[in-house]
Structures are given as C-alpha cells and as structure tokens.
Structure 1
Amino acid sequence: MESTQLVILAGLVIGLIYGAVGLLSGFCLMSSMRGWLAQGDGRLVRTYALAMAVAIAVSQFLAGSGTVDLGKSIYLQQTFSVPVLFLGGLLFGYGMVLSNGCGSRALVLLGRGNLRSFVVVIVLAIAAQMTLKGLVAPARIALVQASQTTVNANSLPSLLATFGAAESVSRALAAAAIVVALILFAFAHPAFRRSPGQIAAGVLVGLLVAGGWFVTGYLGADDFNPVPVTSLTFVAPIADALQYAMLSTGLTPNFGSATVAGVFAGSLVTAIATRRFKLESYSSPRHMLRSGTGAALMGIGGVMAFGCSIGQGLTGVSTLALGSFVAVAGILIGTTAGLRGSLRVQPLAVA
C-alpha cells in the first residue's frame, strides 16, 4: 500500500474512533465551557484538559525521539500574525456558541440524525472555502501581511532554549510543566475522578491527536510522495470534504477529508448501535438564522486562526507553538463572551 493510501485509511480509522467517542462522551469544548461557566458542571472541561495533556505528552515524545518532525506542520512557523490568530479565535469561539457546538461536534451530531448540524457543516464549509480561496481570502491575506511578525522562538521549547537550555531539556521542561498542570486540574475535581467514561474519552482523544501526527509525520514520510504533517482539525478539512464530494474528478482525498468522513460514519454507526439515532430539526426560523451565522463565523474564524477548538485547542497546542496559544486564548474568550456577560447568547433548543 502506498503511503498516501495508508494515510487516508488511517485518517478514516482515527475519524471513526473520534466519532464514536464524541457521541458517547459528549466531547466538545463549547459544551465543556457551558457546563463549567453556566451550569456549574466541570466534568467535561476536565475531559478536554486531560485530552490536551495526553496530546502534548505523546506528541512531544514523538517529536523528541525524532519519530515525527512537528516543525513541518503549519503551527510552527517563524512568521505569523498574532492579531489575526487572536481575532480568528474570537470569531470561532463566539460562532461556536451561536451554533451550539464546533465543527467536529456538528459532524458527530449529524451522524446522530441532527439536521441542524447539516446546516452548520454546509455553511461552515462554504465560509471556510471563501476565506481560504474565495471572496474573503484577499481581505484575510491583506490583514496577515499587514500584521505578521517574524520571531526567533516560535514555540515554548524554543523560547526556553533562548535562555541557554538544550533543546531536549527545553522540550521536556515545557511539556512536563503544562502536562502536570492540566492533569492536576483534571483530577482535582471529585466528580471527574468518579467518571471513568470521561477519563477514557480524554485519554482516547489525546491519543488520537498524537496518532494523527504519527500517521502523517511517520507513515506518510515518503521522499517521493510526501503528505502534509498534520493531525485532527476540522475547519479546512470539512471544506475540503465538501469540495471533494462536489468535484471529485481531478481531486484526491487526504488525511483531513478522510477523518471528516470517519467522524460522521463513526457517530452514525454508534448512534444506530446504541439506539440514539433520532431526526431533529430547528425550532424556528430565528434558530436556523442564528445557527447559520455561527457556522459562518466558525468557518471564517477557523481559517484565520489556523484551526478550531480541536485543530488549535488540541492539535496546535500539542506542538507547544506560541501562535496556537494565542489562537486558543481567542477561542476561549470568544466562547466565554457568548456564554456570559452582555454579549451572552440566549439559549434556545438544546442540541
């Protein structure tokens, strides 16, 4: 089997597992933040924190051992725009609240029969493609060119290395500090410690992120036909998957579009097997408008931020890239603004 075919197959498998785990556990940053800030239930946010800790620990081990070169990913660039990354994160976070979930969650809910998520996926894909290559692209490019900065240190390990520490030591210190803090935060919550399903979900999702790096960075490392080094992310891949579905002639599937298909299929199979499949739709035209608006903001913001709540929140952060922390800060602030304060989005139907 050629490396590209192997990467696509592995992406499909990773997506299948993520779709099943996402449906059974409710894994979602927006749901986590809502439960923590609005409902006083901190279990899901601990699941997300544990997933981040596992993703960082295993991904940095792969990078430190020389198995995967994370420097080839889009996150560890020497030149990036802090304002655009942050603004993109803000738009994505607020859009996530408007749509009642991120792109990956929409795929999971679509597999369960939620037709609202069908609208979210389609609108997100169109908005993302417009921002990548369409009408919005010139404005995005102009903003990036006007505000981008070239840095010597583009990650936490490289920043520590500027103080004289060896690269291996800097990597170990940075990863250990964040991983320990996240694990302590997760397991300090008694209800989370009594939730084996949520603990398993956090560990599995973190391993899937590291698995994506291994698949594309090691199994896909072919000198004659290399594939982009990447892992779980959902904004651009959803756009690519829709484009491939419409114009497959002359196009080839990739790791991202394979994971998108896998997430939907994994959720669908799991929903049918557990009798959770149920067709659902909008409660009102206003609800549909708000959901579609949120999806558009996620598509635009996700491209500007180089990723979503998974693509930057887990995959980007697992590289310890400074730009990823900027984007995640924007996502968290945008989500918080949508859940609390004067810009709070009033709840309608629960997805």
Structure 2
Amino acid sequence: MNVQDTLIWSGLVIGLIFGATGQLSGFCLNRALKEYWQSGALHKAQSFVLALCVAVIGTQALAQFEFIDLSKSIYRGPTFSWLLVPIGGVLFGYGMMLANGCGARTLVLCAQGNLRSLVVLLCLGISAFMTLTGVLGPVRQSLNQMTAVSGGSISDIPVAFQSWLLGALLLCLLVFSFWKLNLLRHKKDLFAGFTVGLLIVAGWFSTGWLAFDEFEPVNLVSLTFIAPIGETIQYAMIATGMKLSFGVTAVLGVLLGSFLLAWLRKGLHLQGFSSPKEMLRYIAGGVSMGVGGSLALGCSIGQGLTGLSTLALSSVVAAAGILIGARLGFHQTA
C-alpha cells in the first residue's frame, strides 16, 4: 500500500477497535472522575491510568529503538504557551463535565443513538476549527507567540537520571492501577486499559513507521479527537478538496466500531434532551471542549494519554488543567 492507503486503513482499524472498546467498557476520563468523586469507585480511573502506563512504555520503546522520532510530534515542539495550554485544559475539563463526556466518549455515545452527543460533536468540531483556523485563529496565534516558553520532556534531563525517573514514574502508575487488585475484579476495565494503551502505541507506529516516506512526509500523530472531529465535519462538506487523514478515518472508525457493537448487543436507542436548559448545558460543554482542546493542543485522550506518552512538559500542564477544569465542572453539575 502507498502512504495514503496506510494512513486510511490504520486509522480506520485503530478507530474501530477503540470504538468497540469504548462501547463495551465505557472507557472515559469523565466517567472515571465522576464515579470516584461521587462514590469513591476507583476501577475506571485505574483503567485510564493503566492505559497511560501501557502507552508510555510502548511509545518510549518505539522511540528508543528509533521506529519513531517523537521530536516531530506536536507535543514535543520547541515551545508552548504557558497561558493558553493550561487555560485550554481547564476549559476542556469543564466542558467535559457539562457535556457528560469527552470527545471520544461522545463519539461512542452518538453511534448508539444519543442525539445529545450529536449536538455536542457539532458544537465541538465547529468551535475547534473556529479556534484553530477560523475567526479566533489570529487571536490564538498572537497570544501563543506572546506567551511562548521553551518546551521540554524527560529526554532533556541528564541521561544518568532519565532511566531512574522513567522507572519511578511507571512504578507509580502500575501501583495505582493495581492498588488492592481492584482492577482485576473488573475485567472489562482491565481489558480496556490495556487495549487503549496499545492503540496509542499503534497510532504512533502507523504514522511514524508504517506510513513513513521521506518523499511524502506525514504528520507523526496518534489518537486525539479535537481537531480530527472538526476535520471530519469539514471533510463531509468539501471532500473533493481534501485527502482522508489518519484522524478522520480514526473518527469514522470509532463511530463504526461503537455502532456495530451496540447493534450486536441490542444497545441502539435514540435519546434526546429532557429540557431546553439541558440542551444549552450540552452546547456550552461542546463549545468549551472545542475551544479548550484547541488551546491545550489536545483532549483527555490527545493530551491525557497520547501527549503524556511522549513525556512532554506541555502535556503535563494540559492534563493538570483538564483535571482542575473537570473538578470545577463537577461542582457545577453536581
């Protein structure tokens, strides 16, 4: 296959598996945080952290054996905005709570007939492109330039400390994931954690090695859902002027994978809004996620897993902002 075919099929397959996994397990940072804050249940959060652990191990292994060059990813850029990245993270986390799910979870729910999620997706995708390349783009670019600071990652510290620090990080993640062996009693969440982590690695491998062509270079990316949702909406409108990308086919794959599993399990049900007030809340959540995710360079998957797997400082800042925003949104919706 040529580069374009590789991107299309790898994105579709990875998206299919992610969608089916999300439909089966309910994998979502929003749900994990809500369950813990409401009842103290930890297994969803442990599943998410396990996915992060697997993603870090696999991604760093690919980089170590030179299958991919993480310096070419958006997360390991030379600079990031000390202002926009944390603010974007807070906005995304807040919107995630208002909309009752992140971008990835919203795709999964939409595929099973949740019309609330359809509204959120439209608001998220449009507001994301408004922020990236639309009317808000010049403002974002100006602020980004004015507040840029040097980026960084674990690879920037002395070599003697790199292995020790990475080992300590992975040990902490594993201890949390299997604390009191709680996750072993929730097989679906255990499966989801391993699977999603491996899909992050598969995304890096697909775009960084399988589709590598020095004469036709492609962006080094993995799973993320803010810009790709907007790009998918754009592709639906002007397909003749665009090429299918890894992100678009991954989004389509998530929808298809979730739909197929919901259909097989007889879980397809139309759901709508209970009131105009609820609709406004979901619209606000979608817009907040679209704008916030664009400023933070990713979502709970794009920064919380994919970005953190590169060990980039900007991803740590964005992930912290998402958690803070989610906590604020939880109080607002509780």
Q: How many residues align?
A: 334
Provide the residue aligned with 2:232 in structure 1. 241
Report the counterpart of residue 153 of structure 2 in structure 1. 155
**What do residues 125-163 of structure 1 show as CA deviations (whole Å, max 9, x unaligned)?**
000010011111122112111111135xx10231x22xx
Q: Work out the CA distance in 1 between the residues paired with 2:285 and 2:164.
A: 38
- Cα deviation, residue 202, structure 1: 0.1
Question: What letter corresponds to residue 317 of structure 2 in structure 1?
Answer: V
Question: Structure 1 vs Structure 2: percent identity of aligned residues?
Answer: 46
Could you tell me how far apart the structure 1 residues matched to 2:232 and 2:169 are?
A: 34
Asked if the contact 1:234–1:308 (Cα under 8 Å) also holds between the matched residues in 2, the reply is yes
Q: Which runs of 5+ in 1 are unaligned?
A: 347-351
In the TM superposition, residue 108 of structure 1 has moved relative to its aligned partner by 0.2
Per-residue CA distance 1:263-299 (angstroms, 9 max, x = gap):
0000000000011111111111111100010100000
Alignment-derived partner of residue 67 in structure 2? 67
Residues 271-290 of structure 1: pairs in structure 2 closer than 5 A: 271-290=262-281
Q: Which residue in the other structure is 1:145 paired with? A: 145
Q: Give the counterpart letter for 1:194 in structure 2.
A: R
Structure 1 letter corresponding to 2:16: L
The TM-score normalised by the length of structure 2 is: 0.98
CA distance in 2, matches of 1:184, 1:142: 42
Aligned position for 1:33: 33
Residue identity in the other structure for 1:155: S
- What's the offset of the Cα at 1:345? 1.7
Give secondary structure in 2 for the equivalent of 1:296: helix
Question: Post-superposition shift, 1:191?
Answer: 3.1
Q: Which letter does structure 1 place at the counterpart of 2:283?
A: G
Is 1:319 paired with 2:307?
no
Q: Distance in 1 between matches of 2:328 and 2:121?
A: 23
Considering fraction of residues, name the structure with more helix: 2
RMSD of aligned alpha carbons: 1.1
How does 1:203-282 map onto structure 2 within 5 Å? 203-282=194-273
Cα contact 1:3–1:222 (8 A) shared by 2? yes
Taking the aligned partners of 2:10 and 2:333, their CA distance within structure 1 comes to 38
C-alpha separation in 1, matches of 2:277 and 2:36:
27
Structure 2 residue matching 1:27: 3-state secondary structure: coil
Distance, in Å, in 2 between the alignment partners of 1:62 and 1:220 is 15
Match of 1:11 in 2: 11
| Structure 2 partner of 1:308 | 299
Deviation by residue 1:149-178 (Cα, 9 ceiling, x = unmatched): 135xx10231x22xxx25xx62x3333222
Match of 1:345 in 2: 333
**1:71 Cα deviation after fit:** 0.9
Q: Which consecutive unaligned segments of at least 5 residues does structure 2 have?
A: none
Q: Identify the match of residue 174 of structure 1 among 165, 168, 193.
A: 165
> How far 1:189 sits from its partner (Å)?
3.8
Measured in 2, the distance between the counterparts of 1:149 and 1:40 equals 38
Give the whole-Å Cα distance in 1 for the aligned partners of 2:290 and 2:209: 29
Corresponding residue for residue 89 of structure 2: 89
Range with bigger deviation, 269-278 or 141-150 = 141-150
Matches within 5 A, 1:85-164: 85-151=85-151, 154-158=152-156, 160-161=157-158
Amino acid at match of 2:264: A
Q: Matches of 1:296 and 1:258 in 2, distance apart?
A: 23
The one-letter code of the counterpart of 2:37 is L
1:78 shift after superposition: 1.4
Give 1:293's aligned residue.
284
